[in-house]
């Protein structure tokens, strides 16, 4: 995927796994979460190996807006009412700690790191923004209620988190990955008896972290039932005044913004794979109304994993697992929560207690109604009789004319025109002729 971040980047090339090896820890997935986990483990003296299906950072990490913030949409008032103050505070504090840790790692590194406040604004509801600001303040963080929004957008009110940040995700990742043992072009086909098999070798490890965007071991954990993937479109433009904060609109398919140098990213979306919507026309209309002088630099579509209760899954892969872990479901806030995952999972493997582990535990009880809705959504696509069928659990695929891919509406697997897997949970290529 070509994005603003991949332009002009010459990334180091890592070898493909070509034999059977062993390690203390294996991380599956070379995106932000996987590399941060591996970095932490390597620095702690653990013999750690990363297996990346394609190139390091060239999956979801390269499509992100790379905002570092503990403000994850309008979240904290929801968390307090759904789960109580203790969990909400744990979520906030763990993410604030992650912001500090990422900032420390980024200082002194050539990764365009900048402190930036983050803003959530609502076009319609001042009361909702006031409620969220009060919820965050009650948890001990100095969020501010504000009336502004970027690019002259009309706003009923907003919540500002000061002292947040942004960076260039690939430059940062390349720096963090130094000293980490990585194999690229090594997609894992199966995990059995603590051994991960690729088509040209295997890694046997005492601990395994699955940080492959969408977890692919189905018989345990049932992540395909308790997660959804959503897609959003981003356009990078120049010739408009750079923004002084990162910003997100509080709406189901709202806009989001950040600037890097003289380029500004404008995105919107949040729809199921296989149900393409013309987000680019929506962004073009926005630019016509708010920044008609803008010139497009590039555009892309990204895909994020969403949990059913707004909290990522970080911890044991399934309740009885002692040495298989997962980091997924970052709800489109993957930079900061990747650092949270690295903290929690490194502590788990080193046998250290982590105050925030229970907040993100994948063992938690699922909310009944979203679970039912998610299951019905998948069942409807499973019963659709058209060909071809997804190699994950057999749902009917839909052809995405704009990107020339086969997309699965059930759990979000995507396949290239030649049938090769682009995005999991599918691990097996599609036989296009079947
Ligand atoms: Fe699960 Fe296609 S991704 S059936």
pLDDT at 297 over 80: yes
Q: Interior CA angle at 260 toward 290 and 148, to 5°?
A: 45
Which residue owns the Cα nearest ligand 1 atom 4? 393
pLDDT at 433 over 70: no
- Does the residue 105 lie in any domain? no
Q: Residue 109 Cα, ligand 1 centroid: separation in angstroms?
A: 39
- Does the residue 150 lie in any domain? yes
pLDDT band at 371 (very low <50, low <70, confident <90, very high): confident
Any ligand 1 atom below 6 A from CB of 426: yes
One domain for residues 388 and 273 = no
Q: Residue 411 Cα, ligand 1 centroid: separation in angstroms?
A: 5
Q: Any idea what the CATH number is for the domain that residue 375 is in? A: 2.102.10.10
- Does the residue 379 lie in any domain? yes
Q: Of the residues 284, 307, 330, which one is the last residue of a structural domain?
A: 307
Do 429 and 420 contact (CB within 8 A), yes or no?
A: yes
Q: Residue 413 Cα, ligand 1 centroid: separation in angstroms?
A: 6
Pick from 254, 261, 64, 56: nearest CA to 174: 56
Other beta carbons within 10 angstroms of residue 25's beta carbon come to 26
What are the pLDDT digits (tens) for 168-182?
999 999 999 999 999
Q: What is the Cα–Cα distance from 211 to 160, expressed in whole angstroms?
A: 31
- Does the residue 201 lie in any domain? no
Number of domain units in the chain:
2
- Does the residue 257 lie in any domain? yes
- Does the residue 406 lie in any domain? yes
Pick from 348, 371, 362, 275: nearest CA to 318: 362
Q: What pTM value is reported for the model?
A: 0.94
Query: Nearest 5°: phi and psi at 200?
Result: -135, 10
Q: Residue 349 Cα, ligand 1 centroid: separation in angstroms?
A: 31
Q: Of the residues 263, 286, 307, which one is the last residue of a structural domain?
A: 307
pLDDT at 434 over 70: no
One domain for residues 122 and 254 = yes
Tell me, what's the pLDDT at 195? Answer: 97
- Residue numbers of the domain that contains 375: 370-423
pLDDT at 345 over 80: yes
pLDDT at 276 over 80: no
- Percent of the chain at pLDDT exceeding 90: 83
Q: Residue 384 Cα, ligand 1 centroid: separation in angstroms?
A: 13
Contacts of 205 (CB under 8 A, 6+ apart): 22, 23, 24, 25, 26, 49, 194, 195, 196
**Of ligand 1's atoms, which has the minimum distance to the CA of residue 411?**
3
Q: Any idea what the CATH number is for the domain that residue 154 is in? A: 3.30.9.10
Mean pLDDT of the 332-338 span: 96
What are the pLDDT digits (tens) for 22-71?
999 999 999 999 999 999 999 999 999 999 999 999 999 999 999 999 99
Any ligand 1 atom below 6 A from CB of 425: yes
pLDDT at 320 over 70: yes
Any ligand 1 atom below 6 A from CB of 406: no
- Does the residue 162 lie in any domain? yes
Give the H/E segment covering residue 399: strand 398-400
Any ligand 1 atom below 6 A from CB of 410: yes
Q: Residue 386 Cα, ligand 1 centroid: separation in angstroms?
A: 14
Do 269 and 276 contact (CB within 8 A), yes or no?
A: no
What are the pLDDT digits (tens) for 387-423?
899 999 999 999 999 889 999 999 999 999 999 999 9
pLDDT band at 148 (very low <50, low <70, confident <90, very high): confident
**How far is the CA of 276 from the CAs of 74, 301, 406, in angstroms?**
25, 11, 12
Tell me, what's the pLDDT at 215? Answer: 93
Any ligand 1 atom below 6 A from CB of 303: no
pLDDT band at 283 (very low <50, low <70, confident <90, very high): very high
One domain for residues 160 and 252 = yes
Any ligand 1 atom below 6 A from CB of 411: yes
Tell me, what's the pLDDT at 394? Answer: 92
Any ligand 1 atom below 6 A from CB of 248: no
The bridge status of strand 118-122 relative to strand 246-249 is parallel
Q: Residue 159 Cα, ligand 1 centroid: separation in angstroms?
A: 37
């Amino acid at each position: 995927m070509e994005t603003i971040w991949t332009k002009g980047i010459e990334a180091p090339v890592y070898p493909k796994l070509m034999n059977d090896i062993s390690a203390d820890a294996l991380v599956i997935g070379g995106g932000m979460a996987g590399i941060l986990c591996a970095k932490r483990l390597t620095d702690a003296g653990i013999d750690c190996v990363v297996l990346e299906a394609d190139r390091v950072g060239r999956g979801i990490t390269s499509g992100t807006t790379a905002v570092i913030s503990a403000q994850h949409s309008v979240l904290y008032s929801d968390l307090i009412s759904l789960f109580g103050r203790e969990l909400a505070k744990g979520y906030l504090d763990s993410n604030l700690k992650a912001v500090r840790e990422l900032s420390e790692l980024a200082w002194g590194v050539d990764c365009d790191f900048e402190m930036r406040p983050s803003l959530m604004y609502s076009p319609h509801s001042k009361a909702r923004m006031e409620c969220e600001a009060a919820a965050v303040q009650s948890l001990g963080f100095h969020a501010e209620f504000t009336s502004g929004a970027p690019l002259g957008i009309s706003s009923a009110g907003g919540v500002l988190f000061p002292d947040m940040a942004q960076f260039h995700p690939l430059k940062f990742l390349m720096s963090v990955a130094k000293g980490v043992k990585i194999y690229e072009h090594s997609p894992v086909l199966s995990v059995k008896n603590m051994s991960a098999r690729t088509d040209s070798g295997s890694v046997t490890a005492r601990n395994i972290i699955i940080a492959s965007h969408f977890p692919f071991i189905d018989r345990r954990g049932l992540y395909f039932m308790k997660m959804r993937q959503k897609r959003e479109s981003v356009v990078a433009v120049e010739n408009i005044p750079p923004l002084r904060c990162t910003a997100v609109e509080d709406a189901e398919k709202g806009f989001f913004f950040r600037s890097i140098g003289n380029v500004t990213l404008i995105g919107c979306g949040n729809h199921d794979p296989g149900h393409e919507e013309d987000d680019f026309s929506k962004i073009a209309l926005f630019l016509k109304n708010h920044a008609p002088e803008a010139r497009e630099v590039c555009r892309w579509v990204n895909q994020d994993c969403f949990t059913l209760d707004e909290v990522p899954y970080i911890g044991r892969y399934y309740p009885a697992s002692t040495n298989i872990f997962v980091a997924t479901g970052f709800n489109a806030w993957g930079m900061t929560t990747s650092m949270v995952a690295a903290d929690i999972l490194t502590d788990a493997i080193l046998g250290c207690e982590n105050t925030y582990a229970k907040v993100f535990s994948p063992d938690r009880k699922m909310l009944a109604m979203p679970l039912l809705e998610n299951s019905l959504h998948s069942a409807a696509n499973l019963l659709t009789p058209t060909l071809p069928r997804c190699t994950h659990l057999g749902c009917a695929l839909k052809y995405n004319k704009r990107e020339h891919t086969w997309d699965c509406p059930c759990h979000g697997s995507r396949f290239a025109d030649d049938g090769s897997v682009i995005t999991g949970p599918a691990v097996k290529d599609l036989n296009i002729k079947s």
